[in-house]
Structure 1
Amino acid sequence: MVFYNKVKWVLGILMVFILIIATNLIDRNNFSRVKDSVVAIYKDRLIAKDLIFKMSNSVQEKELAVVASDSVFFSNRNKKVSQDIQDFVKLFEQTNLTLQEKKIFSDYKNNLEILKSSETNFIQSKFADKTPLINHISSVKLNLNDLSKIQLDEGKRQMFLSEKAIDSVELFTKIEIYILIFLAILIQVIVIYKPKEN
């Protein structure tokens, strides 16, 4: 009988041990998903949103100079603003882009190149023909607007994934508590139960 009691105790402790390991692994996986989601929201969405904002400000500065036919801007400041935009583009490329984002961002870069040649034509025309340049600026602004919308949508998606992982953790915690209660009762029954001796 002593051996039988030892086996009961070992099985009871082993069941609790396996349950704790299993729930720990599940919880670790869910917390990892939450962490990845939070990092993605910051790195790939908030930083990207900030870069889009800065690019929009730079493009708006160009637009105001075109509308005002500001020759001083184009002879002095335009080169610096264009370089700033290129720096922001390089930083934006380092974020994790969705397929839709890649397509719009590619269009944006193409429109920036067209804008650059339009600026050259505008300067050569002695600031006379604004229409093509304004149209190209509008295309660039539209790309930036589309990229901005994607940041919000992706941010919401990441938040949904975080909430789903947290809900999962809460559910497994409740299940773990119920199973531990059940196992505690089961272990008590096994330990207290004494088979009839012949």
Structure 2
Amino acid sequence: MSAKLTLKQRILVGFVLALAFFLVLGSNLVDRRHFSTIQKMIESIHDDRVVVQDYIYQLRNFLHDTEVEVLETGNIEKSNEQDRQIKAILDDFAATELTREEATFLKRLRQQFYGPAGLSSIYGEDNESKILVHIHSTKKTLDALEEIQIEESGHLTQISEKSLSVNKMLSNLEIAFMIVIGVSILMLVFQPIKTLYPIR
């Protein structure tokens, strides 16, 4: 065995170490990008889907209470406090990241609550069937919005899982490359020169 590294061996060792460094650096940058994607997806699932489910739940509760009131009294009385709460919910809903379909249904929902023929325009009307039909129509819009939340949550989860799978695969490749590079360095250091560089 050679006691000292030759110039050629030193260059090769330096090359292999540089390769290992850039491999680790590149892998780290790719990992960071995938973790950033996963973090963004998780935040979106919470802020744009789970929180929105709560908005839908609150609006559905309001409609249920209104329906009970109509069945008991035949009409509905205006409540300024409730009116402010619903407007705040709809504004918060609009501030989330909406899909095109979701934006369409949210616009329809606003019309059903505050449009010219919306729920706010029939307060005090003594027309039970008209009010109940309107409530039923508004509930259907909420159903459509709820389905979108489920679909989008599933879509975001799939993207997160895909990023995790790619990240896991790259980590395994990185380990394999590091083993190969480690073995290469050991061979360069401990193998006899004649084995590495046969005389032609």
Question: Which range, TM-score by smaller chain?
Answer: 0.7 to 0.9
Whether 1:140 and 2:174 are equivalent positions in the alignment is no
2:129 to 123, 131, 134: 131
Whether 1:30 and 2:28 are equivalent positions in the alignment is no
Whether 1:179 and 2:188 are equivalent positions in the alignment is no
Q: Taking structure 1 as reference, are residues 44 and 193 closer, same or farther at Cα in structure 2, changes over 3 Å only?
A: farther
Distance apart, 1:29 and its partner CA: 1.0
Identity %, equivalent residues: 22
Aligned residue number for residue 155 of structure 1 = 153
Aligned residue number for residue 99 of structure 2 = 98
Equivalent-residue separation in structure 2 for 1:45 and 1:150 (angstroms): 9
Distance apart, 1:196 and its partner CA: 5.9
Distance apart, 1:70 and its partner CA: 6.3
Partner AA of 2:22 in structure 1? I
Residue-pair matches, total? 189
Partner AA of 1:11 in structure 2? F
Runs of 4+ in structure 1 off by over 6 angstroms are: none
Aligned residue number for residue 77 of structure 2 = 74
Aligned residue number for residue 7 of structure 1 = 11
Aligned residue number for residue 123 of structure 2 = 119
Contact 2:60 2:139 in 1 (8 A): yes
Equivalent-residue separation in structure 1 for 2:192 and 2:152 (angstroms): 57
Equivalent-residue separation in structure 2 for 1:196 and 1:144 (angstroms): 77
Equivalent-residue separation in structure 1 for 2:101 and 2:54 (angstroms): 19
Equivalent-residue separation in structure 2 for 1:141 and 1:96 (angstroms): 22
Aligned residue number for residue 110 of structure 1 = 111
Name structure 1 gaps, 5 residues minimum. Answer: none
Aligned residue number for residue 88 of structure 1 = 89
Q: Taking structure 1 as reference, are residues 193 and 133 closer, same or farther at Cα in structure 2, changes over 3 Å only?
A: farther
Name structure 2 gaps, 5 residues minimum. Answer: none
- Aligned CA-pair RMSD: 2.0
Cα deviation, 1:71-92, whole Å, max 9, x if unaligned, reads: 7x616xx332222111111111
Equivalent-residue separation in structure 2 for 1:83 and 1:63 (angstroms): 19
Cα deviation, 1:15-60, whole Å, max 9, x if unaligned, reads: 1101101111111111111111110111111111011101111121
Cα deviation, 1:64-112, whole Å, max 9, x if unaligned, reads: 11111267x616xx33222211111111111111111001111111111
SS at match of 2:77: helix
Structure with more helix by fraction: 1
